[in-house]
Chain A
Amino acid sequence: MKILITGASGAIARLVAGALSPKYELTGVDPRPAPSETHFPGKFVVADYHSRKLDEIFRNDRFDAVMHLGRIRESQKYSPQYRFQMNVVGTQKLLDLCKVGGVKNLIILSTYHVYGAHKLNSLSLTESAPLRASQSFPELADAVELDHAAVNFMWREREIRTSILRPTNVIGKHVRNTICSLLRSGVCPRVFGFDPLMQFVDEKDLARALILALENPIPGVFNVGGEGVIALSHAIRRAEAVSVPIPPLVSASFVRLLSEMSGIPFPPYLVEYFKYPTVVNDDAFRKAFGYVPKVKTTTSLRNLGPISERPRLALSSLDESV
């Protein structure tokens, strides 16, 4: 079976590829060069998702499955226009190519951020909950549009089995997202007086979830969580960091200043996620795929440590059951 993996330079893709490599023929694509190309077990192409290079990849090979893990995360590094090009236009293009190229299984990695942090959120958001993120946070509009495009595609193209996964905060040794950077930095801001419930999923559990979805494709939209909920302050403590409470009224501007000064990314929308809980219910995924997260939230928080640049990615790094 031939598999195309986007976002191949990312931590999750490398974990997944490491686990799949002897069994399947892999091609990786990412706009960023691989941290070290030898570590991607298969062909690796540097390409923007909206560029013609992507057509070429599909012309040269016929893929049975596509794992779209490459979403440019919101950060100061990329402009919203660039993110829209990559995430929305790029995804749209990838979906078209999947359809033309006769792909049978498609797995798309979205995020729980699409639900948006809102005071009216229920404490157990199912997949049918409204996606409020773009309403309050224009920075997240591209993530919501990507999710919408994926869900539309799933319904329209029934012959392609499409699973869309919306994981909670992904943490792990190799992950370089905002929440991990904050927890690693040793100093994590909090909104004074607020301590929402958070959910974390370990990188290994997410990789397992993606492989489950690949090997036993069931179309649908699924939340993917870890072991359960933990209050933000507890999570910070477990990661051996110190929380800094910031008064809610000044938090947005203050946080921007702070993140510019310290170099630690803190997108303004995160203030809301640090205020109101966005807790998702992943029962559907557990039931459909028999998924059980194996890494305890406290363990993955404790073991966060400094970022590991060159993961030794082998099947053993996930474990035998994969």
Chain B
Amino acid sequence: MLKRFLMETDWEQVKTVIRALDRVEILEVPGLEDRIERLGIELNSAGFDRWGLHPDTLRKFAPYLYFLYKKYFRVETAGIEKIPEGRVLFIGNHGGQVPLDAMMAGLALFIEGEPPRVARAMVERWVPTVPFVSSLFTRIGAMVGDPMNCRELLQHDQSVMVFPEGVRGSGKLFKDRYQLQRFGTGFMRLALETGTPIVPVAIIGTEETYPSVFNFELLAKAVGAPYFPVTPFFPLLGPLGLLPLPSKITVRFGEPLRFEGDPGESEESIRAKVQTVKDALQEEIHKGLKLRGENIFTGAAK
């Protein structure tokens, strides 16, 4: 069976495909070195920062990430000039099975932010167990969404990106897209403790990249993942089904929100403050969806 498969495979065709992949346009990020310089990260002799960020890895992957950003998802931003100076806690909506949202919002801040900044994304607790992804994420500034990590980053004046929906958000089904799931409240206590302004980030488009119609929980449990999405293309089309749909992505930064209070407040009053953030984010999402129009791929109106 395998022999027949190998004999019948048209190797010339495979080669053509590989050659075509080779021709994928490599885009240089404009002013990459200057932007990395202006991030103001302190590196040790091995080229790592205190939390494992490694600008050399960023340099290596920048052209591919920029291709995704500019050509594949054609990312546009709005309100990026509203971001206050200094450390900021970015609160975003989560969806689409794969953290493309964190990646695209992070790239927006790095490529279009003035000054450019790294927003350290707080990722799911199962990420460290995923081969390759775990180390790549660390190199480009992400880390496990642990309150200790978040506190330390904010105390060292670093910006942090949090998705308070967690896996409830990333694993959400297509029918629930852009409906914010229950928010965790930990981020608000940390914002109060460190006096950090909150900026809601509505990421439009990523929630359609992997339209999950069904969460195969049994399989998820078997492989140790929090969810296992079934889309019209995955796993039906195999690895090809892993390609995200090229929807148009918009990253909208909302008005900065500042909160005051005691980080040890009762859960009830913290929840009220969290609701304020959630409402602001949901409003920003609605605005973005309205502006995008009906066609998710081009963003054009009907």
Q: Please report A residues at the B interface, Cβ cutoff 8 Å.
A: 119-120, 122-124, 126, 129, 192-197, 227-231, 234-235, 238, 248, 276-277, 279, 281, 296-299
Contact = CB atoms under 8 A, between A and B. Distances in A.
Nearest to A118: B128
B48 A228 contact: yes
A229 B43 CA distance: 10
A117 to B, nearest CB: 10
13 contacts: A119-B144, A120-B125, A120-B144, A123-B144, A129-B148, A193-B131, A228-B49, A231-B54, A231-B139, A248-B131, A281-B152, A297-B46, A299-B45
Contacts of B44: 227-230, 296-297
A124 B149 contact: yes
Contact of B45 (A276, A279, A297): A297
Contacts of A192: 131
Nearest to A226: B44
Contact of A230 (B48, B131, B134, B152): B48
Contacts of B135: 193-196, 231
B148 A124 contact: yes
A296 B45 contact: yes
Interface string B146-173: 1011001000000000000000000000
Contacts of B54: 231
B132 interface: yes
Contacts of A299: 45
B48 A229 contact: yes
Interface of B: 44-52, 54, 125-126, 128-129, 131-132, 134-135, 138-139, 143-144, 146, 148-149, 152
The list of the 5 closest CB pairs from A to B, nearest first, reads A193-B131, A228-B44, A195-B135, A122-B148, A296-B45
A219 B129 CA distance: 37
Which residue among A195, A228, A230 has the maximum number of chain B CB atoms within 10 Å of its CB? Answer: A228
Main secondary structure on A side of the interface with B? loop
B152 to A, nearest CB: 5
Given A119-B125, A227-B45, A229-B48, A197 B138 contact: yes
Nearest to A120: B125
Contact of A123 (B52, B126, B129, B131): B52
Contacts of B152: 122-124, 281
B69 to A, nearest CB: 25
Contacts of A230: 44, 46, 48
B174 to A, nearest CB: 30
Nearest to A245: B131
Given A194-B134, A195-B135, A228 B46 contact: yes
B139 to A, nearest CB: 7
A298 to B, nearest CB: 4
Nearest to A298: B45
A197 B148 CA distance: 17
